[in-house]
Amino acid sequence: MTAMAMRRREVGLYFVACLWLLTTVNGLLTPKGVNYEVQALMGIKASLDDPHGVLENWDGDAVDPCSWTMVTCSSESLVIGLGTPSQNLSGTLSPTIGNLTNLQTVLLQSNNITGPIPAEIGKLSKLHTLDLSDNFFTGKIPSSLGHLRNLEYMRLNNNSLSGEFPMSLANMTQLVLLDLSFNNLSGPVPRFPTKTFSISGNPLICPTGSEPECYGTTLMPISMNLNNTPTAQPADRPKSHQIALAFGSSVGSVSLIILVFGLFLWWRQRNNQPTFFDVKDRQHEEVSLGNLRKFQFRELQISTNNFSNKNILGKGGFGNVYKGILHDGTVVAVKRLKDGSASGGEIQFQTEVEMISLAVHRNLLRLYGFCMTPTERLLVYPYMSNGSVASRLKGKPVLDWGTRKRIALGAARGLLYLHEQCDPKIIHRDVKAANILLDDYCEAVVGDFGLAKLLDHQDSHVTTAVRGTVGHIAPEYLSTGQSSDKTDVFGFGILLLELITGQRALEFGKAANQKGAMLDWVKKIHQEKKLEMLVDKDLKGNYDRIELEEMVQVALLCTQYLPSQRPKMYEVVKMLEGDGLAESWEASQRAEATKSKPHEFSSSDRYSDLTDDSSLLVQAMELSGPR
């Protein structure tokens, strides 16, 4: 190809690029030069109550929303993702969401949003993922959702939706997953085009939940891959683009774009530089896996002052946790896992970490990022300013009774999510006050979930070591090494007793000379109606006696010796919310009365291992202490 031909080709490409950029600019502007997407997002912000300030940098005077939190843009600077899960948002969802016509992903699950689902969502023809689950939406499912022919994943479960199923849902031929469970919907039920669906928990059509027509196959989690496109990188886009939007003038846009693009081509020709980055240069690469960031070891080393002992927030069975400050000022908690070089291969570790990152709930500690080298494995979490429940129970000011109740319910909801809404389901295996963290608003956040699986890398199906804390380990787990969701229920029961007493499990048993029979002692004082002996003295009598008895009953139900007798976490949540406790307690008492005691070990014998902190027991497990 001659030099003249090459020059003509380059000039042609130049004008095509200018025309494309001009079309993009004009397509986003109103006649007054205002960005349509900014207007739509500000409408959404105005209708929501944002107690944590998550949407604080959403600015109506801005010209570019791509740098805003929870907003994902394409390489063409179009808004394609809106993700604010588990942010305690309330209020209503504005119909202006229908003006974000390039949206592909909407993730608003696990908030407190009320009101109807906007029918305008049906205009989002490019949408492939919609998750509005675990909110308080009311009214009917809009029939306009049937227009979403490209939608693959839709979760509207755990709301208060009512009315009949729109028959238009049968038109959504691309659906892979549909979850409408736990609402108040009524029939007739359309023939869903997806095999993976659930409508159980709607009492008018699925009264028992076991009807075969109420569900199909196993529900899979919706991927949180919101950042798979070059987003939130305003510095990498031509500054002329933003100036053009600011002036809102098509003529000015064209002039500036032509000037900058022309200078770029001249610079490229003169320096003979390729337009693509060298992918082999990985020294300063920053990788994002969905919402998960892969850190360089050097960055975490600097942020923690070379893992200084002064930065240690806590020590546990999985490793030390350090306070770190990233280069942008973000405060994080960096967990440096023990035996990092032995924690499986890099691919296996990364896969497990990605699975943990998919567990997103307001009462779960969000995994911010990770780091792996041939000898190190590190996990990066948001910093929790109020520390753990264990540390706060010992600190000042004293946690009042209302806060302790709220912590119990929050932790229960987090565990319920791990047990029943994750895929694969996650068993925590070390539920205790030290692993329940408190955010700025003293809301419970369950931490350290999934870590046992990360370190049990030799066999994904069999526990290679009993991981837990003395006093919290369920008897069947201690004796067989086999854990289940009921193992966590046992630990949660002990957690309730820690909240009530203000002491660690081993401490409040020993305080009454009841080593080896801690739960027997709790049962005894419950039967004798002397529960005031249990209550944290720092509360100085400021608690509700009825609520105290209810919490003790839930704790005793959770810590029954046989796993089959313990409630599931969804039942625990209901009981803590005031539903079904009386019936469950009465049933357990009847079962207790009908036991054939001569053929059984005494409770003291059966539970004796649970509070024995002998050196033999300590050597048989990894203790995970407070952070």
Active site members: 430
Whole-angstrom distance, CA of residue 183 vs CA of residue 171 = 22
SS3 state at 446: strand
Residues 353-378 as b/e (b if ≥16 CB within 10 A, e otherwise) read bbbbbbbbbbbbbbbbbbbbeeeebb
Beta partners for 293? Answer: 288, 369
Q: What is the DSSP letter of 159?
A: S
Note whether 167 and 190 are within 8 A (CB): yes
- With the C-alpha atoms ordered 501, 504, 508, 511, is the resulting torsion angle positive or negative? negative
Whole-angstrom distance, CA of residue 41 vs CA of residue 38 = 5
| 530 annotated ligand binder | no
Nearest residue to 541 (alpha-carbon basis) of 401, 407, 406: 401
Q: Is the peptide bond before 424 cis (omega within 30 degrees of 0)?
A: yes
Strands 377-382 and 331-337, sheet pairing: antiparallel
Note whether 384 and 372 are within 8 A (CB): no
Name every residue whose Cβ is closer than 8 Å to that of residue 574 and which is 6 or more positions away in sequence.
580
Whole-angstrom distance, CA of residue 262 vs CA of residue 5 = 18
Q: Residue 578: phi, psi to the nearest 5?
A: 95, 20
Whole-angstrom distance, CA of residue 492 vs CA of residue 408 = 9
Residues 334-351 as b/e (b if ≥16 CB within 10 A, e otherwise) read bbbbeebeebbeeeebbe
Indicate the angle between helix axes 239-247 and 3-28, nearest 10 degrees.
40
Whole-angstrom distance, CA of residue 556 vs CA of residue 493 = 7
Whole-angstrom distance, CA of residue 344 vs CA of residue 331 = 29
DSSP string, 83-134: E-TTS--EEE--GGGGG-TT--EEE--SSEEEEEPPGGGGG-TT--EEE--S
| Amino acid found at 258 | I
Whole-angstrom distance, CA of residue 516 vs CA of residue 497 = 16
Other CB atoms within 10 A of residue 128 CB: 17
DSSP string, 290-348: TTEEEPPHHHHHHHTTTT-GGGEEEEETTEEEEEEE-TTS-EEEEEEETTGGGS--HHH
Name every residue whose Cβ is closer than 8 Å to that of residue 510 and which is 6 or more positions away in sequence.
611
Q: Across 330-464, where does the E strand assignment appear?
A: 331-337, 369-372, 377-382, 436-438, 444-446
What residue numbers does the annotated binding site cover?
A: 335
What residue numbers does the annotated binding site for ATP cover?
A: 335
